[in-house]
Amino acid sequence: MQDFSGKVAFVTGAASGIGLALTKALKAQGCHVMMADIDGDNLIKASNDLPNDGGRISTAVCDVRSLEAVQAAAEKTVAEFGKVHLVFNNAGVALAGNPGEIEARDWQWIVDINLMGVVYGVETFVPLMREHGEGGYVFNTASMAGHVTMAGMAPYHATKFAVVGYSEALKQELAPENIGVSVLCPTWVKTNIHNTGEERPSAVDGGVAAGGQLYEMVKGLVENGMSPDNLAELCLKSIQANRMYVFTDPETRIAIDMRRDAIQADYKACLEDLGIEI
């Protein structure tokens, strides 16, 4: 997809952070955008603060954990704009914790948002793209945490690795239908992601607040991270180039190389143990 003017996009997590930046970048290029977010008040405020030039904007309060809510938001998008060309499955949260100490309901919470929210977006909007036959684009927000890991963040890694693998399969499956796919894998971006763990079920019920050495480290990295507006511009360029992966940080590239080398080393050792010549 080369030209965004006159196209229609659906963006989740659009009230702030990367979602809001994507909305601004798309609107500036003449794309009409349905902004979706679970936070209705901030959603209205964010939409009202956008400039009047470019594409049109509408809003839909949407909890991506609910397939019915995503479907309702899709129906509203089609009713207002006629069709949908791009879906940005961007809403996400973070969850830290040690093995054996993370409540099952918190696991379910992060899986429902970070993974199933993406799945619901794909299952809802891809059929709508097929209907109009003009092609389309699926843009899923994962993370560098979908490629490399750090201790204490297993739930986040689990969901982001899943989104990367899911997106890789989708790209192969949808390419024949002129529907492109990209997966966003940034390192540190100036958003509120480090505080979203306060919304997990156990915290809402009075659990332990975020804090500690890991939290303070991540907080500092996020607050000094990449501007969401700069990231959004990269995202649109990546769509135009039909890139599979969207990366941001040269310093973490070595981590991918190290993971590849570790996989290759164990692969080689296992084949040798099986007596298979390589």
At residue 193, what is the residue type?
Answer: I
pLDDT of residue 209: 55
**DSSP secondary structure code for residue 33 in this structure:** E
At residue 147, what is the residue type?
Answer: H
Q: In the annotation, is 137 catalytic?
A: no
Rounded Cα–Cα distance for residues 58 and 46 (Å)? 11
**CA distances (Å), 126 to each of 56, 74, 135, in order?**
22, 11, 10
pLDDT of residue 241: 98
Superfamily of chain region 8-247 = NAD(P)-binding Rossmann-like Domain (3.40.50.720)
Contact between residue 14 and residue 23 where contact means Cβ atoms under 8 Å apart: yes
Contact between residue 181 and residue 140 where contact means Cβ atoms under 8 Å apart: yes
Strand order in the sheet with 57-61: 57-61, 32-37, 8-12, 86-89, 136-141, 179-184, 245-246
SS3 273: helix
The closest of 116, 122, 114 to 196, measured between CA atoms, is: 114
SS3 215: helix
Q: Apex CA 29: angle with CA 24 and CA 35, to 5°?
A: 40
Residue-by-residue pLDDT tens, the chain, 278 positions: 899 999 999 999 999 999 999 999 999 999 999 999 999 999 999 999 999 999 999 999 999 999 999 999 999 999 999 999 999 999 999 999 999 999 999 999 999 999 999 999 999 999 999 999 999 999 999 999 999 999 999 999 999 999 999 999 999 999 999 999 999 999 999 998 989 989 999 998 775 555 578 889 888 888 888 999 999 999 999 999 999 999 999 999 999 999 999 999 999 999 999 999 87
Contact between residue 122 and residue 218 where contact means Cβ atoms under 8 Å apart: no
Rounded Cα–Cα distance for residues 128 and 71 (Å)? 11
Q: Where are the domains of the chain?
A: 8-247, 252-278
Tokens at 84, concatenated: 């949908």
Residue of 120, 137, 156, 166 marked catalytic:
156
pTM of the model: 0.95
At residue 235, what is the residue type?
Answer: C
Rounded Cα–Cα distance for residues 177 and 133 (Å)? 8
pLDDT of residue 200: 94
Tokens at 107, concatenated: 């696991």
Contact between residue 16 and residue 46 where contact means Cβ atoms under 8 Å apart: yes
User: Greatest CA separation found in the chain?
Assistant: 68
